[in-house]
Structure formats: C-alpha cells, structure tokens
Amino acid sequence: MESSHMKIRTIISALSVVLTTTLVSADDISINLVASNSTQQMVPGFQTNVFRYTANLVTGPPSTLTVLPNTYLGPTISVNTGDNVHVHFQNNLLVETTTHWHGLDVTEAADGHPKDAMPAGGSYDYDFIVRNRAGTYWYHPHPDMMTGEQVYKGLASFLIVSDDAEQALDLPRGEFDLPICIQDADFDSSNQLVFSGANMMGMFGNTQLINGRVDTNYSAATRIYRVRLLNGSQSRILKLAFDDGSPMVVIGVDGGLLEAPKQVPYLMMGPGERYELWVDFSTKNLSDVISLQSLAFDQLAGGIGQGDAKDIMTFTIDRSEQETLVLPTSLVPMGEIYDVADVTSEKVWPIVWGSGEFLLNGQTFDMLGTIANERASGDALEKITMTNLEGNIKFAHPMHLHGRQFQILSRSIAAGGVNAYNTVKDGLVDDGWHDTFLIMPYETVELLIRWSKHPGLFMYHCHNLPHEDMGMMRNFELSAQTCPADLNRDGVINISDFLEIIAQWGSPFGDVTGDDRTDVADILATIADWGVCSPGFRGLPQVPLRSGRPKPSK
C-alpha cells in the first residue's frame, strides 16, 4: 500500500513538472496602490479637490498599469486570467476606505467588504488569483455609507482582464480598444465638486464627465473601435444610442464577451454595469461628428431624476485610415450554461420601500449580519428571484452581487409598469455573464448563480450609490463547498475529476484545495478523497455564521 502511494506520488511529481512547463503561464503581479487627497484641473480656473488612486508596479509586465490622460480617475489595471495579483494598498485619505474589485471572484479577505475598512493612514494587502474571463471590470472603494462620495471624488478606474480565447479573436486593439467611463458631476463657483450626499432621490450632476474629463469629445479615425463602456455615475440610468442611427452592436457585458454580437436599438445601462460595443466609423467622412446620447425614457421606468435626454459624448472623425477588421459572427462560448432543472435551492429577495429607505430582502444593511435566506454553500447552483413590486415608491435599481458572475433567466413585468417599461425594455441586454443588472419598477427578475467557491461574507446591493450608502445593501454568507474534489459535480470523485484537474492545470479552475491554483496539491487531495462524494465528505469546517450587530445610527 505504502509503495503504491509512493509510485503515484512519483508519477504525479514528474507529471507536474511537465505540465507546469508546458501549460498556462500566469504572471505574478505586485502593485502598490495609494489613495490620497489631490487636486485636478477639471474645469478652467481653480483646481478641483479630488481623491486619487495612484499606483506603481513592483513586479509584472509593464503593460499592467496605464493611465488615462488628464483625469482624476485611477490607473487602468490590465491582467490576464490566472494571474496572481498582490495589491499593497495605502490609505492616505483622512477617512476610512476599502477597495473592491468589481466583478472579480476573489476571496472574502480580498473583496473590500466594509468590515475590512482600513482607517485613515492604514494599509491593507489584497491578494487574489484572476479567475474571471476576459472582460471589462473596475475597482472602487466600498466603505460603509461613504462609497458614493469616494467614487464621486475620483476613486474608480478600469480593471481589464484578458485571456487566450479573447486574444484569438480579431478585435480592435491598442488605441482602438477604448475604455469610456461615463459619470456626471456638479461643480460650485470655485470649481469644487458638490456632493449632495446619500439620499433616496439619488445624485444627478449637470456636468457630463467622460473618463473624468469635461471635454467629452474624442478624436477618432475611420476605423472600428471596441468601446468598453462603464456607467460609473452615482445614480443615472443611461439609454444610449448614436444620433446618426448607427446600430448599437453589443459584443460584451459585465462578465466578458458574448457568444455572438447582439444588436439593439438602444442600450440600457445602470450604474456599475459595463457593456462593450463594436463601433464602426470606417464608412464615416472626415469632420463627421457622431454623438452618443442618452435618450429620454418614461421617468416611471427609472424613478425621480431619471429619464432625461442627455448628450453624453461626441466622436469627431479627424483622420482617414484603412480598416480591415470585420465583425466576428461568433465571439467566445459562455462555458457552462445553467439549467434551471439543476438548481439546488431558491431565494426570493424583494425590494420594498420602507419607512424612508429601500429595504432589500426586508432588511437594511447590517455589517456582519445575514438572515436564513442569505446563506448558501459554495459552488451550489441557486435561483434568485428579485422583485420590485411592493410599496408606494418604486425606482429602478442596478443590483450588484459580489463574487461569481450570474446568468439572467427571466424578466416579467406586472400590469402597473408596462407602459413605462415599454420605453426601456428593448435596451436590456441580458445575454452572457453579469454581476449587475437593472430591475425596473413592477418587475420580477430571475437569476441563476453558481455561488463562488470562496467561503465567507460578501455583499449584494443597489449600485445607485446613494441607495447603497443609505443601507440598500445586505450580506450573503457562503460556507465552504461540501465536495471540492468533485469538480464535474457528478457526486463521485473519480478519474473524470482527475482529468479535469489536468485539463485546468496552472489555471484557477481545477482548484480543490482552495488556494485558487490547479497544481499537484489538487491531485493529491483528489486521490485522498477518491470515491463517493456526499455533503461533509471531507469534513471541511463550515464557515461559522456570525451574529450581526446593529448598523451605527446615521
């Protein structure tokens, strides 16, 4: 017995040497990130006091950090799936903060939960393996009751993930791969940002910002652009369209590229959401100006302050260049497409207007608290039904779940909301992987989510940031998955799981031991657990369900 185990270990060791030298090569990336008070020339005259992320690269490819020109926004962080990322964060603000990697499936300790806020002058180390597909993600603060103000003052930027499947496609690259962060702000007479604070009306600025600048024109060539849109605004829901009738061709959503391009007459976009467009200027003429606008929609489909027509930005064609790219008919497979028949549990989370605030799942934010229907096992597939049906005040809410990306199963609208809904419904793109979605007044939305394998306490909340800061945020708590070596989830740990580990070698996706790496330790754990898998098979410790404590009074 002893010697056969020895043989297996010898074979595995040899195998692992071969595999590590031939398969996925991931980078070790180390970044020093600092948040501090700063100033920025945003409008002519006085400089504006802002918060600013700055970063320097300690290890990793030089392309990891890039800066958008003349902006208060932080550096764009570009990584690849499988990269091992370490961010040493220094808080030089005068207030507490955390950093959240919006859309990434990271550990509890790296997720930026407000319970992990560092005080002024404090520091924090975020460590995560990039498990996500290629896509447009972003990072921003997440402290309790102050997220809106900190994002508003400049703490936000893009986190771009790439992978082999994306690289294999002929998509616009370099300067034709264009991140666009859409925000609005108000300036006072001395050019300082006016923040109206957390209130249920939300926050709408009169000044349009594109990538943190009041200059909302972009000089473009007669080329095709991959435009990565981020709605980084506090509250404003966008209904985007081009004024020249150019089609809105969506190629990507929150969690990366779609399986195939999807054309919509206009694109609805709530705060926190990302969509990627294929924008074809190749047939434009020199001096053409194409305007990206937010079209009017029925205020009852959004809530107070929503639905005004608005100019967002312009593209001025200033040079003629040859274009050879053509829109791919297929992009990247989603991978697993969830089947509602495989759901192991269901949760219903209503949104209801309660005394002076929107309640989520009947509750307001409680720093460490969860209630029974906010707990799940890691890696379990569940259906979540969110409803926006009750109460005499109804707003649209951009709802965000931390951790894994999910799939949108269905939408249904109750009679009272149909007319308003008809002014927005054709722009809701539910294909693909999402971490944020708009739920409209009178609407019911069903999601399918396979919970993260990372145990711990994570948040779901409204990404209308004044709503979030008022307490429209809750925790969900994931216990360790019961059978981590059963990678193909067939109830038995056998050769097929072993082969899955080999297939995922070096990536984060064949992980059994919980370190986000697929390596020899996972093979050994699989052998140790070989056989029938049942809940509690490995006797893994369940994450203790902590008792909540009351939220400090506002």
Distance of closest approach, residue 81 Cβ to Cu ion, in angstroms: 31
Distance of closest approach, residue 399 Cβ to Cu ion, in angstroms: 8
**CA 71, 139, 111 angle in degrees (round to 5)?**
155
Q: Which amino acid, 179? A: P
Cβ distance to Cu ion smaller for residue 394 or 467: 467
Distance of closest approach, residue 432 Cβ to Cu ion, in angstroms: 23
| Residue 192 near residue 167, CB atoms below 8 Å | no
DSSP assigned state of 453: S
Cβ distance to Cu ion smaller for residue 19 or 462: 462
DSSP assigned state of 373: G
Output the residue with the shortest Cβ distance to Cu ion: 462
**DSSP element (H, E) containing 511:** none
Cβ distance to Cu ion smaller for residue 65 or 462: 462
Residues that bind Cu ion (CB under 5 A): 397, 462, 464, 467
Distance of closest approach, residue 390 Cβ to Cu ion, in angstroms: 15
Cβ distance to Cu ion smaller for residue 177 or 357: 357
Cβ distance to Cu ion smaller for residue 462 or 480: 462
Cβ distance to Cu ion smaller for residue 198 or 493: 198
Return the bridge partners of 289, or none: 316
Please state, in angstroms and rounded to a whole number, the distance separating the CA atoms of residues 103 and 434. 8
Distance of closest approach, residue 305 Cβ to Cu ion, in angstroms: 12
Cβ distance to Cu ion smaller for residue 462 or 501: 462
Would you call 274 exposed, middle or buried from its count of C-beta atoms within 10 A (0-12, 13-18, 19+)? buried
Distance of closest approach, residue 61 Cβ to Cu ion, in angstroms: 38
Cβ distance to Cu ion smaller for residue 119 or 362: 362
Starting at the edge strand found earlier in the chain, the sheet holding 135-141 runs: 65-66, 76-80, 157-162, 135-141, 99-102
Starting at the edge strand found earlier in the chain, the sheet holding 217-221 runs: 217-221, 310-319, 289-294, 238-242, 267-269
Distance of closest approach, residue 70 Cβ to Cu ion, in angstroms: 32
Residue 398: count of CB within 10 angstroms of its CB: 24
What phi, psi does 360 have (nearest 5°)?
-115, 125
Q: Can you state the percent helix, strand and coil of the chain, rounding each to 5?
A: 15, 40, 45
Cβ distance to Cu ion smaller for residue 464 or 507: 464
Distance of closest approach, residue 130 Cβ to Cu ion, in angstroms: 29
| Residue 282 near residue 259, CB atoms below 8 Å | no
Q: Which amino acid, 38? A: S
Distance of closest approach, residue 100 Cβ to Cu ion, in angstroms: 17
Distance of closest approach, residue 195 Cβ to Cu ion, in angstroms: 18
Distance of closest approach, residue 393 Cβ to Cu ion, in angstroms: 11
414-422: long-range pairs with CB below 8 Å, 24+: 414/389, 414/442, 414/443, 414/444, 415/442, 416/441, 416/442, 417/300, 417/301, 417/441, 417/442, 417/443, 418/442, 419/298, 419/300, 420/297, 420/298, 420/299, 420/300, 420/301, 421/301
Distance of closest approach, residue 370 Cβ to Cu ion, in angstroms: 20
Token output for 125: 């180390």
Give residues with Cβ within 8 angstroms of 35, minimum separation 6: 51, 52, 53, 89, 90, 91, 92, 93, 97, 99, 141, 155
**CA 210, 213, 215 angle in degrees (round to 5)?**
85
Cβ distance to Cu ion smaller for residue 347 or 467: 467
Distance of closest approach, residue 400 Cβ to Cu ion, in angstroms: 10
Cβ distance to Cu ion smaller for residue 64 or 387: 387
- For residue 420, the SS3 value is helix
Cβ distance to Cu ion smaller for residue 187 or 460: 460
Q: Which amino acid, 69? A: P
Please state, in angstroms and rounded to a whole number, the distance separating the CA atoms of residues 538 and 517. 19
Cβ distance to Cu ion smaller for residue 74 or 302: 302
